[in-house]
Structure 1
Amino acid sequence: MRRRSLLLAAVPAGLVTLAGCGDDSSGGGKSGASPSASSAPPPKIVDGPLPAVTAGKEFGEKPTVAKGTGDPSKNLAVRTLIAGTGRTLVENDFVRADYLGQIWDTGKVFDNSYDRKRPLVIQLAQGSVIDGWRYALTGKKVGSRVEIAVPPKWGYGTSGNAQAGIKGTDTLVFVIDVLESFNSKSSVHGKPVAQDPALPKVGTNTDGEVPKVTVPKTDPPKKLVSAYVLEGDGPKVTADQTILCQFQGLVWDGGKTFQRTYGSGRLSQFGVQQMEQVVKGLAQGLTGKKVGSRVLIVVPPDLGYGDNPPSGGAVKKGSTLVFTVDILAAM
C-alpha cells in the first residue's frame, strides 16, 4: 500500500457514503470537511524569515531547502517564489498541489509528495488541512510556488505529530507547487465520445451544471457498464486512490435522481476502496478510467444495493443504478 501524506494524518478526508441517501437531488455527498468558521482571529502574515531553496528551484521540481537559521517568526511567514497566472484560490476551494515539508531547526524532511509522484488533493477549509496552509494559500494563483513557515499554533499545535517526528515546539517549512484548483462549479473538459443509443444519454456540458441524463424506456443491461462520455487525458484511477468528483445517481426505472453534487455547492471526495464496500459497481466502474473524464456507470442490482436499498428514497429493491461522474482529480 502506498504511503499516505503525513500532512493530513490527523485530519482524514471526508467520504461520500451513498449509504443513507434518500430523495436528495441537491445534496449529493459530503465533501472533504464543511467546518464552521473559526472563532480565533486569522494569523498575521509576514514575508520572513524563510530558509533558501538551494536546488530544484523550478516549478514542479522537488526542492532542496536549507535549514532555518536563527529563530523563526511567531507569525505565519509566506513568500511567493514563483507567481502563477491561473485562477485565484479562495477558502473552501480544493487544491491539487505538490509539496515538501521539513522542520525549521533541523532541516529534516518529514514528508514530500514529489517522491510519491502523487500530488495532494485537499480542501482549503478549517478541519481539512492545517491552518497554515489554509491561510497561506488563499489568494494565491494556480501555477504558483509558495514557501511558508508555520509556527505550532497554525500547524499541529502543542501536541505536534509523533508519526511525522514533529514536536509541539517545531516550526514547519513547506514549499508548495499549486497545480490545479477546483470548486463546486468545476467540470471536466474531456473529448466527447460517441454514446451507445441503448444506454442513458448524458449531457456533455462543461459549465459545472448538472448534465442532463435521459434513461431509455427499455430493460437495463444485466452487467456493469462503464463508458466515457467525455474522455480526459489524465492518469488512470487505481483502486487505492481517493478521487475528487462531481457526480449524480439515478435509478434506471423512471430516471429519478436520488443523489448528486452538481448544483449543490459542494464536491465529493471518497476512497475507491471504501466505495467498494458501499456500491461495488461504482468503485469498479471508476477504476481504470482517466482523470479529467466524465463517465457513465450503469450498476446492476447485485453490484449496487440489491435487496437492501436505503430507506425512504427512490432506490428500491432490485434497482439498477445510473451514475455520471466527473473525475476532477485523484490522489
Structure 2
Amino acid sequence: MRRRSLLIAAVPAGLVTLAACGDGTSGSGKTTAPASPSPSASAVPPPKLVDGPLPAITAGTKFGEKPTVAKGPGEPSKDVAVKTVIAGNGRTIAENDFVQANYLGQIWSTAKVFDNSYDRHTPLLIQLAQGTIIDGWRYALAGRKVGSRVEMAIPPTWGYGKEGNPQAGIKGTDTLVFVIDVVDSFNSRSSAQGKPVPQDDAALPKVGTNTDGKAPSITIPKADPPKKLVSEYVLEGDGPELKAEQSVLCQFEGKVWDSGKTFQETYGSGRLAQFALQQMEQTVKGLAQGLTGKKVGSRVLVVVPADLGYGDNPPSDGMIKKDSTLVFSVDILAAM
C-alpha cells in the first residue's frame, strides 16, 4: 500500500462531490496536506512575511529534486520567513486555489525530516483554504508562481500551535522548515487542456471543446440511450492514466439523458469536485469505471446506464429516476 502523508486535511468548503448528487453540498473525500490543527488555529492574525533567516539547501538544489536542508542557523524569526529559491513563470497562486506540489518538511532546531512527498513519487494536492492547511502555507504560497521552489520557516503560531503535532514528532515550540516545489495550480476557472478528439457517433451526446473554464455545451440526441457504459475522450490530455485507487480533482457537469436537465455541476459554482474513484464505485459505479484509465488533462464524456448509476436508490430530489441514464462531461484536472 502506498504510504500517504502523515498530515491529512479535511475536505475544504470549496469542494463538491457526487456522493450526494443533486444537493450541492460538500462531500466526504480527503485531501493530503499539512492540516490546520483546529478551527481556532486559523483565527490568528496574518503573519508578517520576512526574507529570513532560512537554512541552506545543501543538496538536491534543482526543481523537482528531493532537497537536503541544513539545521536552522541560530534562532528562527518570530515571523514567517519565506523565499523563492527558484522562480517559476506559471500562473500566480491565490488563496483558495488548489496547489499540486512536492514538499519536504523538517524541524528547525534539529533538521529532523518529519515528512516529504518526494519519496512517495507523487505530488500532494492541497487547497490554500482557511482551516484546511496550516496558515503558514496559506500566506507564504499566495502570490508565488507555478514552477517555483519556495522555502519557508513557520513558527508555531502559524503552524500547529501550542499543541504541536505529536504524530509527526512536532512539539508546540517547534519552528518548521518547508521546501516546496509548486508543480501546478487549479481553481474554478480551470479547464482540461487536451487536444480535441473527433466525435463522430451520432448516437452519442456531443460535448463542447472550449477551454476557458466555462461549462462546455452538452447536446443529447433524441434517441434511446446506449445500454452499456460509454467513456470517450472529448479532449485528450497527455498526463498519466488514472488508476482505480487514485482520487481525482475535476470540473464536471451531470445531465439526465431523457430530460436533458443538469442535476449537478461545478462550472460557475466557484468550486471544484474531488473524489476517490473507489468511493465513487459505491455511488455511481459507471462514472468511476469510465474515468479509470483516462489521462489527466482530458475532458471525458461518460454515459452511465441506470444499472451502473444510482440503480434503485436515486437521489431524493426526483430529477433522477430509477431507470435514468446519466450523461457526464468531466475535466480531469489532477489526480493523486
Match of 2:280 among 275, 282, 299: 275
Residue range with higher mean Cα deviation, 37-46 or 58-67: 37-46
- Say if 2:85 is the partner of 1:86: no
TM-score, normalization by structure 2? 0.91
Q: CA 1:251 to 1:28, structure 2 compared with 1: closer, same or farther past 3 Å?
A: farther
- Say if 2:171 is the partner of 1:167: yes
Is the contact made by 1:249 and 1:258 (CA closer than 8 Å) also made in structure 2? Answer: yes
Q: CA 1:245 to 1:17, structure 2 compared with 1: closer, same or farther past 3 Å?
A: closer
- Say if 2:158 is the partner of 1:142: no
Mind listing any 5+ residue stretches in structure 1 that lack a counterpart? none
CA distance in 2, matches of 1:93, 1:187: 14
Matches within 5 A, 1:47-66: 47-66=51-70
**Partner in structure 2 of residue 99 of structure 1:** 103
Write out per-residue CA displacement over residues 207-232 of structure 1, whole angstroms, 9 at most, x where no aligned residue: 11101001111111111111111000
Matches within 5 A, 1:1-331: 1-7=1-7, 9-12=8-11, 16-22=16-22, 39-195=43-199, 196-331=201-336
Is the contact made by 1:32 and 1:123 (CA closer than 8 Å) also made in structure 2? Answer: no
Identity %: 76
CA distance in 2, matches of 1:241, 1:108: 30
Aligned residues: 326
Secondary structure of 1:121's counterpart equals strand
2:164 counterpart letter in structure 1 = G
Write out per-residue CA displacement over residues 109-129 of structure 1, whole angstroms, 9 at most, x where no aligned residue: 111111211111111111221
CA distance in 1, matches of 2:244, 2:5: 17
Q: CA 1:28 to 1:281, structure 2 compared with 1: closer, same or farther past 3 Å?
A: farther
TM-score, normalization by structure 1? 0.93
2:306 counterpart letter in structure 1 = P
CA distance in 2, matches of 1:263, 1:287: 26
2:3 counterpart letter in structure 1 = R
Write out per-residue CA displacement over residues 18-62 of structure 1, whole angstroms, 9 at most, x where no aligned residue: 24333x7xx5866989x9995432011111111000011111111
Write out per-residue CA displacement over residues 209-261 of structure 1, whole angstroms, 9 at most, x where no aligned residue: 10100111111111111111100000111122221110011111121110000
Residue range with higher mean Cα deviation, 189-198 or 318-327: 189-198
Secondary structure of 2:280's counterpart equals helix
Q: CA 1:183 to 1:17, structure 2 compared with 1: closer, same or farther past 3 Å?
A: closer
CA distance in 2, matches of 1:28, 1:209: 21
Secondary structure of 2:287's counterpart equals helix
CA distance in 2, matches of 1:73, 1:11: 29
Query: Deviation of residue 86 (structure 1)?
Result: 1.5
2:184 counterpart letter in structure 1 = E
Is the contact made by 2:9 and 2:133 (CA closer than 8 Å) also made in structure 1? Answer: no
Runs of 4+ in 1 over 4 A off after TM superposition: 12-15, 27-33, 35-39
Query: Deviation of residue 269 (structure 1)?
Result: 1.5
Is the contact made by 1:227 and 1:296 (CA closer than 8 Å) also made in structure 2? Answer: yes
Mind listing any 5+ residue stretches in structure 2 that lack a counterpart? 32-38
Is the contact made by 2:42 and 2:135 (CA closer than 8 Å) also made in structure 1? Answer: no
CA distance in 2, matches of 1:303, 1:154: 46
Query: Deviation of residue 160 (structure 1)?
Result: 1.7
Higher relative contact order (CA 8 A, sep 6+): 1
Secondary structure of 1:134's counterpart equals helix
2:10 counterpart letter in structure 1 = V
CA distance in 2, matches of 1:113, 1:20: 31
CA distance in 1, matches of 2:229, 2:174: 51
- CA RMSD of superposed structures (Å): 2.1
Secondary structure of 1:324's counterpart equals strand
Is the contact made by 1:246 and 1:261 (CA closer than 8 Å) also made in structure 2? Answer: yes
1:158 counterpart letter in structure 2 = K
Is the contact made by 1:147 and 1:176 (CA closer than 8 Å) also made in structure 2? Answer: yes
Is the contact made by 1:243 and 1:270 (CA closer than 8 Å) also made in structure 2? Answer: yes
Q: CA 1:39 to 1:171, structure 2 compared with 1: closer, same or farther past 3 Å?
A: closer
Residue range with higher mean Cα deviation, 154-163 or 139-148: 154-163
